[in-house]
Chain A
Amino acid sequence: EDQVTQSPEALRLQEGESSSLNCSYTVSGLRGLFWYRQDPGKGPEFLFTLYSAGEEKEKERLKATLTKKESFLHITAPKPEDSATYLCAVTYDLNTDKLIFGTGTRLQVFP
Chain B
Amino acid sequence: GAGVSQSPRYKVAKRGQDVALRCDPISGHVSLFWYQQALGQGPEFLTYFQNEAQLDKSGLPSDRFFAERPEGSVSTLKIQRTQQEDSAVYLCASSLFGLLKSYEQYFGPGTRLTVT
Give chain A's interface residues, CB within 8 Å of chain B: 4, 31-32, 34, 36, 41-46, 49, 51, 87, 89, 91, 94-104
Docked complex: B75-116 residues within 8 A CB-CB of A: 91, 93, 95, 97-98, 100-110
Q: Are B56 and A98 in contact (CB under 8 A)?
A: yes
Q: Are B109 and A43 in contact (CB under 8 A)?
A: yes
Q: Are B95 and A43 in contact (CB under 8 A)?
A: no
Min CB distance A22 to B, Å, is: 15
Point out the residues of chain B lying under 8 angstroms from A99, CB to CB: 33, 35, 43, 45, 105
Return the chain B residue nearest A32 by Cβ. B102
Consensus secondary structure, chain A interface: loop
Give chain B's interface residues, CB within 8 Å of chain A: 4, 31, 33, 35, 40-45, 48, 55-56, 58-59, 91, 93, 95, 97-98, 100-110
Point out the residues of chain B lying under 8 angstroms from A102, CB to CB: 42
